[in-house]
A and B are shown apart, each in its own frame.
Chain A
Amino acid sequence: MASKLTTSNAAGWAFALPGFGLICLFIVVPFFLAFALSLTNQRLISPNPTEYVGFANYKSLLSLAVITLEPERDEAGEIVRAEDGTLVYPRVRTITRNPDFPEYRGMREWFRWHSGDNARVVVAADVVFMKALVNTLTFALVIAPGQGGLALLLALLINQRLRGINIFRTIYFMPVVVSIVVVSLLWRFIYDGNDGLLNNILSSLTFGLFEPIDWLGRTDTALGSIIAMSIWQAVGFHMVIWLAGLQTISPTLYEVAQIEGASKWQTFRYVTWPGLRNTAVLVLIVITMQAFALFAQIDVMTNGGPLDSTQTLVFQAVERGYGKQDISGGSTISVVLFLIVLTISLIQRYLTRERS
């Protein structure tokens, strides 16, 4: 292989050159630029000169600490209890804004838990980033099996010789062709809290018992709503990939399975699924990577709100780099995101490798 690539293949390299060149120019170079910028204090536009700041951007993004809070005690040393019996703790800001604790300066509470009477508070230098990280991981974790599974199901359904099957194929594929911005706008109307389509359907199905929900305006439903809408939007694309995989499986294998008396489930489990192995790896990795790039839906539908419940890494990178004119901060998030996606892709490759 190596010799074939390096010798007597000038034409091949020449053909590859435009592609390689463009990938270098628009993907490889910007990545190294992002890494370099993340070590500086580069602004979008500023009369001030750019300075090298080392890992300060990473520190202000990733710093975490745990503070232990003791419950308030009265003069006699008894623990003070609020009216409902819960313990009363001093506010975190008495520590994070206290000149005696400069190491916690600028940090904010991310979450807390209780051990005994004490509360342990995890404070982060950048809570919004931490929330964006958790949201993005949650999104990827739900989307990967959800979208992949649904796409396979649809592919199996439309992989039949039926009259008018192309109509179904077209319908399932349609959302992929429509711009994600348009789809997001439409779903904003569908999710509308007062008289959105979804609320109307649910309330007429339950004969008016259903209380309208402000889907995008509540912290507990916003991310879920975006996940559901994202699955719907891109499922057609992966359906087509599954379909291509299904059609590479030789019909003779199905004939054999039929002659052997295999049930439908057995046919799927021992003929279809092994035949889709490579397709499955591809679909899984593509969905995961796309999931980490979640941006347009957030930008159009929620802007990261309410209360950061739909913040994502890419949205934050854009918001900081462009909105707040802090290119170095945006670059830092991009580099962190790159490392996460690289790690996950490598793990996926390892887990799905060919075992010989």
Chain B
Amino acid sequence: MRKLPRIATALVATLSLSPAALAATELSMWYHGAGNEVESKLINQIVSDFNASQSDWTVTIESFPQESYNDSVVAAALAGNLPDIIDVDGPVMPNWAWSGYMQPLPIDESEIADFLPGTIGRWDGKLYSVGLWDAAVATVTRRSTLEKFDIRVPTLDQPWTAEEFDAALMKIKDSGEFDYAIDLGMAWTGEWYPYAFSPFLQSFGGDIVDRSTYQSAEGVLNGDAALAFGEWWQSLFTRELTPGTSQDPADRETGFLEGRYAIQWNGNWAAVPMLEAYDDVLFLPAPDFGNGSTIGAASWQFGISASSQHPDGAAAFIKFALQDKYMAAFSDGIGLIPPTPQSAAMTEKYNEGGPLEVFYGLSKAQALVRPVTPGYVVAAKVFEKALADIANGADVADTLDAAVDEINADIEKNGGYGH
């Protein structure tokens, strides 16, 4: 009996203490970069800086390997366990927003006014996600290689034409000096295919879906332009200009550095080792197949999950992260493209005259986001399989027809995906 008052006192003490203990509200955050030491260090730095900068919120971060990140988010959404802040791959964002995993981002448009278009994720007219960086793809080769084969160095204004590009590849192949004239990166299955190769299709005049309505792929993925693209794509493999789908991922990493591939279609994240290996590396725009030279845009971005009870806190963190110094740090650390001119000026490689400045130009001038639709997730998989099949010798028209049928059936099954 005498214990009771003591317990009561303890309870009162705890209750009166708790507001102080809860002063900083916990915010959870998931990130896709587990396993990358530099990247983890950078993001952890932002989190600890943010936690130290104010006393309302404490962000705790949990990192996942990139390969299983999307699956984890989907599974967590099914189980109702999403964190407050998630990072999301740009083209996937509309799917997550439409499915109801994400809520609009309460950040003022003026704060992101000068960001590269690929770093901003919008769906249904609302801002959902912002990225600290963009990525770009370039045709990478050496000046000495081009000079040796008497190939013109293309520029942003005057990229290679389809004929020029083809002639260049044949010339290099016929010399027999390289294992392959160009390496497209067929070993990188998954999102690389639509990200890196759909710009070729767009340059031919086709696309993955009809962007005017997002209700059908008929005529754009199997029209004349797409068929021409498919025939060209297949010819790269039948003429053995590029390694096929069974390329060893290790060859993808080292083939250009070791001089076994003359040209490589690769992203800015791979640029640093190339600059170290050669002193005359060139990062060149994509060839123009008739409809302009273009590359894919959008990389990982931050957003707020739909189930978050504290969108204001989450937004405060994202705003905090969008500082030039952090964007520059990511760029310096892992070679990503800084999203604003100010942050670019602060970096070592993207400032004026820097070795990678060209990527900033490519991103700004040519980048086209992948189709902004919740159906992209499925269409991307269909597109990937179609390209792999055509590379392996499947009939071009039949394969593209089948891809169109599958994409259209999926759109229909989903009631038009809310467009």
Contacts and interface: CB of A to CB of B under 8 A. Distances in A.
B101 A306 contact: no
Given A45-B99, A106-B409, A325 B397 contact: no
Contact of B100 (A47, A92, A219, A306): A47
Contacts of B388: 305-306
Interface string A101-123: 00000101100000000000000
B245 A305 contact: yes
Contacts of A127: 402
Secondary structure dominating the interface of A: loop
B381 interface: yes
Interface string B383-410: 0000011001110011001100100011
Contacts of A217: 244-246
A45 B74 contact: yes
A275 interface: no
B15 to A, nearest CB: 40
A306 B398 contact: no
Contact of A46 (B99, B245, B246, B248): B99
B392 A219 contact: yes
Nearest to A106: B405
Interface string B317-338: 0000000000000000000000
A194 B393 CA distance: 20
Interface stretch (B30-38, B292-300, B411-419): B411-419
B398 A45 contact: no
Contacts of A91: 397-398
B71 interface: yes
A194 B398 contact: no
Interface string B232-245: 00000000000011
Contacts of B393: 307
A165 to B, nearest CB: 40
Contacts of A319: 381
Closest 8 CB pairs of A and B: A217-B246, A306-B392, A45-B99, A106-B405, A324-B378, A307-B392, A48-B415, A214-B246
Interface residues of B, number: 33
A303 interface: yes
B13 to A, nearest CB: 44
A60 B246 CA distance: 31
A44 interface: yes
Contacts of A193: 246, 248
Nearest to A308: B389
A217 B388 CA distance: 11
A214 B77 CA distance: 41
Given A216-B246, A305-B392, A44 B405 contact: no
Contacts of B397: 91, 93
B411 to A, nearest CB: 12
Nearest to B409: A106
Contacts, number: 74
Interface in A237-259: none
Contacts of B77: 45
A46 B389 contact: no
Interface of A: 41, 43-48, 60, 91-93, 96-97, 106, 108-109, 127, 192-194, 214, 216-217, 219, 303, 305-308, 319, 322-326
A194 B251 contact: yes
10 contacts: A45-B78, A47-B99, A108-B401, A217-B245, A307-B389, A307-B394, A323-B381, A324-B381, A325-B378, A326-B410
Interface in B65-89: 71, 74, 77-78
B98 interface: yes
B100 A45 contact: yes
Given A91-B397, A92-B398, A93-B398, A44 B74 contact: yes
Contacts of B394: 307
B46 to A, nearest CB: 29
B248 A192 contact: yes
B180 to A, nearest CB: 12
Given A44-B74, A45-B100, A306-B388, 6 more contacts: A43-B413, A45-B101, A47-B100, A48-B415, A307-B393, A326-B410
A93 B401 contact: yes
Contacts of B413: 41, 43, 326
B189 interface: yes
B377 interface: yes
Contacts of B101: 45
Most buried by B among A217, A307, A322, A326: A307
Interface in B330-367: none
Contacts of A109: 398
